[in-house]
Structure 1
Amino acid sequence: MQSAKTGLSTDTAFGPLTQSTAQYRQLVNTSDTDSQYQAMILLARSYITSGDLASAKAIVSELNTLAITPLQQDEAKIISALINVNENNLIEAAASLEKVNALTLPKQAAAYYHQLNSRVQSNLYKQSGNKDNLLKAYASQKVLVDLVNDDSKKTVLNETVKNLELLGQNDLSLELERATDPLDSGYFEYAIINSSQNRGAKQELLNQFAQKYPSHPLNLLISARTSALETLVPSTDPAAATALPQLKNGDEIAVILPLSGRFAEMAGKPAQLGILAALKDRSEKVNVTFYDSNVLTMDQILNAANQKGTAFILGAVLKPEVSDLIASGTKIPAIVYNKVETIPDNIWYFDLSPDYEGALAAAKMMSDNRQAPVIFASSAVDNQRAAHGFNQLWSKVKHQNVPVCSFETVSDAGNSVTTCQLSGKDSAYINANAMEAAAVKTKLPGNMPVYLTASSNPGLNNSSIEIAMSGAHLGDSPWMLTDTPIKQSLFNAMPKANAFVQRVFATAYDSVNTAFNLNNLNQNKADVLHGLSGDIQINGHLIETAPLWITAGSAR
């Protein structure tokens, strides 16, 4: 078979996977001698992504045989470690990665290595509780910050701080005393500040941090702390300094959910599990009563809640429940999971609507200085609402609408690119299911930045469908983009939990922590609560959740 001059490099071998496994097999067969090793790495990674670990192991065996240079040997060790990760053999994965000379790796390969190593060490900590693993994860993450593009820096920085906070205040203080490099000192000091429960002091110390460490990469987080949400909806709440109700130990909570009937499995049960998980994690002593809105009327629920001296209501996930709660005229403070047009003073809400999803995408693209985007949206009602939400914010800020190219089916999705006017467009926002989004993305120019949101994320991390959207900017709740013990607990209870069910769980979980911090968040508008659904702030009666933005298809 004739060889092709493919010119593959190590950086290409560890870059985004953009082709099918069959195409990578063909690439191996047609590559010239200089490029075949890198083509084999791409094929092995593709096998791993598709779950064919046996074929991946066979490729690694060949790589080990063919490896001549130390760099090639290190590349084979990275792929071997990736297989071990997928088999949950974390100790073996760590052992392979420790043998790699990361200092000699080209930039993209080094980024891949440090991303994988930090993930392995973080997961080892979750298994063993050994804090040395956290420090090893940190060692990779602080290097990774300088290797990723600007879009990914905030994500890496947030993950670095989150890992360091797991060390606890005492160990962080010890590490700070031992540190001789200002870079390390800054990371440890920031983690100490950020984990403080005193919100007012925290903000002041963060301001001082920027003066003490003027060139530290973490200043990027301080400067960006509120900018995304300020772009989305500038706060005009005249009662910003007014004290709001807040849950405390010993309070009675009423939770209103459809615990039976057709909405139980998709809304009631995951919300109940989320609330129980949050209360367990907080170890708070509160009294909780669950009321089944499918059995009881709102009047019956509120009569019972008033007799118990209820301090706070959580729930009301369906719009009719929220409307009935508001119509009752209750004065009990409440956090609900759906939006209605008229919100009284004692009720705050999470917005799970597609309109809000679209607005979040518009805010991100404005933050990234996109000037002339185009929207691709399925004709389904929710996707069209997301496109409308995007344009509502975009037109408010930019004084013009963004063109929307719609399609009916998956087969129409790719064709919509050819009929849509792309001349002069610098970016694309796709709101569609994962299959449709992948079909659109593959037909767009390869250098066009693509943005996706929750509608396109089925919640299956590192899946083949995510790989098909490699390189796109994907914005969703941190919960949907990472695998955690809490997430596993949901799947243990509800093995078939789809993306919507997962988001309901996360919102319910966050509603508990928000209720305990409602007044704190309202008093300090610059502060955020790190939730499963995103960074949380209070803007009037809306509980804003800023999504986490990642590059789809990257190892995490």
Structure 2
Amino acid sequence: MAAHALLNEGNANAADKTLKSIAQDITQKPELLAEHKYLSARVLEVISTYNHALEVLNYPSSWQLPNWQWVSYYQFKARLYQQINQPIEQVRQLSLLSQYLPATQAFEVNNEIWRSLQPINEQTLLSFRDDRSNPIFAGWVQLAYIAKHYAINPNDLVRQLGSWQQLNPSHPAAAKLPTDLEKALNTKPYQPKNIAVLLPLTGSRAVVANVVKQGIIANYMATADDSVSLKFFDTATGAQAAYQQAVTAGAEFIIGPLLQSEVEQLQDMAVTPATTEPTQLSSAANRGITPAATPSTQVAKSIPQLYLNHIDSFTPQDDKFFFALSPTDEAIDAAQRLYNDGIEQPLLLVSNDAVGHRMAESFSQAWQQLTQKPAEIHYYDAGDKMKVTVQKALGVIDSKERIARIKAILTPKIEADFRSRRDIDAIYMISASRDLLLLKPFIDVNFSVFAEPVPLYTTSRSRVESNSRETASELNNLTISDIPWLISPNTETRMVNELWPKWSNSRKRLYIMGYDALDLVGKLAQMRALPGYQFSGRSGVLSVQPDGTINRQLSWGRYQRGNLRPL
């Protein structure tokens, strides 16, 4: 068809006219009808929306078509579903595509299927694993669920995979499991009996460190495993010295240190084998929790380690991991959330400080990757300058200036309301909590009566400490990200509030970071071997990147009728 050539030349509008002009003359042969639908969908992909293209790209299953047309059809549908971030439907189309390909190409598609399944959570996989209309698709979903759910216990994983292979003998993955799944099968989990924790327990950062320590201890006491010993070492006099003390005391896994400068010290430290046998940690009456040991000159040896911070530059090592409550990660997570919510043109209002700039830049980079479009960012300063920034960002100042010019030309008696912008469909506020109660009202009053208010999003950094209904009412319809433990209060949150009533939300997040850090110890090896393995912790849905960095997906809530409600 001529439309095909026009599309290849990048002239989608001309191709659209050509296809419409011949629509009535096409014979009812499936091959021609399929080609017309395919090209029409390709046009819509360019001039309309991906969803519109998918509506058109729909072949009846009764059509008898040559393999190449089915291949083009399923490839295109898979790509469209990928564009609208529907990985389950993308996998469904890819599983159908693989049946029409030679073995070498099918192998590549199967790898793509497996990669696409990795980010999907267990609950979603559960809801699709019994799809009897497409056994190949269902088999892939079942395999992904097994890999995630049983990854922490190799024996259970082997047993479940054996059962899956017996039930799916002709499935493409039955003969050869995905590479990372085979790797996970051969990866032993960390099962330390002696765990050391490096924290600045004295000095200026002791208050913060003690909060993390309380979280670790709370988890340790809840597990009730007397065979595991936990010991704390003070890094206030030097992280390297504390590390060497931990090695001398027989540590088999190390959590910490906490401060970025301390992490850098240990990364720079030349690791050499220990010259003497380490002594074993002893279990005290309080389930093995003991104070720091005395300084030692013992040379450190490499031990699996979970750092409680990130650093900008490091050399990845198989047994080193980085866990932090990173504001920039939260901004990246927010970009994905807005994209998933169908937002196309967000406006960012950001505090003009170092953290604000870092978060805005991270959001913008993530948004650019998702949409190939930059995010619009406005930085505000405190006081009256905040109001001016909001008015400029929303186009209110320009509108008022236009009204003033018209009145000057015609008559001052003309009555006119300002108009705010209509081209934005969401506002993401990156602000401190002290700013939020001013920033949101400024936004509310600067939306004109002619425009629909847009959804408002913000970060955990903006969360107001007050739990009063009056304060929450002022934030109605605001969507906020935070750790799951603070989005959905429970008996644990109430207990912590009773024990430490003066703790801020920031300290509670550090407490939960400590709690999750201990939970991660036995999971990290499998999480690294199997990229799709996610752990639903109290601080978020956690996964491990190939370099050992832990990703964190937060929960979201919305203020409604004076309450923060989980989404």
Matched, 1:480 2:400: no
Contact 2:197 2:232 in 1 (8 A): yes
Amino acid aligned to 2:324: D
Counterpart Cα distance in 2 of 1:385 and 1:273: 30
Counterpart Cα distance in 1 of 2:473 and 2:484: 18
Contact 1:354 1:383 in 2 (8 A): no
Structure number with the higher helix fraction is 1
Displacement of 1:343 after TM fit?
A: 4.4
Counterpart Cα distance in 2 of 1:244 and 1:271: 29
Amino acid aligned to 1:286: V
Counterpart Cα distance in 1 of 2:327 and 2:372: 22
Displacement of 1:493 after TM fit?
A: 4.2
The alignment partner of 1:253 has SS state of: strand
Instruction: Name 2:545's counterpart in structure 1.
Output: 539
Of 543, 549, 555 in structure 1, the residue corresponding to residue 556 of structure 2 is: 549
Displacement of 1:203 after TM fit?
A: 8.7
Instruction: Decide which moves more: 267-276 or 307-316.
Output: 307-316
The alignment partner of 1:338 has SS state of: coil
Deviations for 1:303-344, whole angstroms, at most 9, x for unmatched residues? 222222211111212101111121224521111221112143
Instruction: Name 1:338's counterpart in structure 2.
Output: 309
Counterpart Cα distance in 2 of 1:522 and 1:374: 36
The alignment partner of 2:522 has SS state of: helix
Counterpart Cα distance in 2 of 1:204 and 1:533: 20
Counterpart Cα distance in 2 of 1:270 and 1:399: 41
Q: Give me the TM-score of the superposition, normalised by structure 2.
A: 0.54
Displacement of 1:246 after TM fit?
A: 3.7
CA, structure 1 residues 491+257, in 2 after alignment: closer, same or farther (shift >3 Å)? Answer: farther
Instruction: Name 1:377's counterpart in structure 2.
Output: 350
Q: Give me the TM-score of the superposition, normalised by structure 1.
A: 0.55
The 5 Å alignment of 1:50-449 reads 206=126, 209-211=129-131, 241=183, 246-248=189-191, 251-265=193-207, 267-284=208-225, 285-295=227-237, 297-328=238-269, 329=271, 331-340=302-311, 341-345=313-317, 346-421=319-394, 422-442=421-441, 443-444=443-444, 445=447, 447-449=453-455
Counterpart Cα distance in 2 of 1:322 and 1:290: 16
CA, structure 1 residues 545+288, in 2 after alignment: closer, same or farther (shift >3 Å)? Answer: same
Amino acid aligned to 2:316: P
Deviations for 1:512-555, whole angstroms, at most 9, x for unmatched residues? 11112113333444342221111112222121221111112354
Counterpart Cα distance in 1 of 2:489 and 2:356: 26
Instruction: Name 2:520's counterpart in structure 1.
Output: 514
Deviations for 1:334-373, whole angstroms, at most 9, x for unmatched residues? 1122111214312211232222121111111111121111
Displacement of 1:256 after TM fit?
A: 0.6
Amino acid aligned to 1:532: R
Tell me the percent identity.
Answer: 21
Displacement of 1:427 after TM fit?
A: 0.8
The alignment partner of 1:211 has SS state of: coil
The alignment partner of 2:481 has SS state of: strand
Counterpart Cα distance in 2 of 1:213 and 1:507: 43
CA, structure 1 residues 516+213, in 2 after alignment: closer, same or farther (shift >3 Å)? Answer: farther
Q: Please give the root-mean-square deviation of Cα atoms over the aligned residues, in Å.
A: 3.1
Contact 1:462 1:553 in 2 (8 A): no
Instruction: Name 2:100's counterpart in structure 1.
Output: none
Amino acid aligned to 1:258: P
Contact 2:306 2:321 in 1 (8 A): yes
Displacement of 1:471 after TM fit?
A: 0.7
Structure 2: which 5+ runs fail to align?
Answer: 1-121, 135-140, 146-178, 272-300, 395-420
Amino acid aligned to 2:217: L
Amino acid aligned to 1:441: K
Would you say how many aligned residue pairs link Structure 1 and Structure 2?
Answer: 333
Contact 2:339 2:370 in 1 (8 A): no
Counterpart Cα distance in 2 of 1:400 and 1:304: 51
CA, structure 1 residues 490+480, in 2 after alignment: closer, same or farther (shift >3 Å)? Answer: same
Deviations for 1:6-61, whole angstroms, at most 9, x for unmatched residues? xxxxxxxxxxxxxxxxxxxxxxxxxxxxxxxxxxxxxxxxxxxxxxxxxxxxxxxx
Displacement of 1:411 after TM fit?
A: 4.3
Contact 2:211 2:507 in 1 (8 A): yes
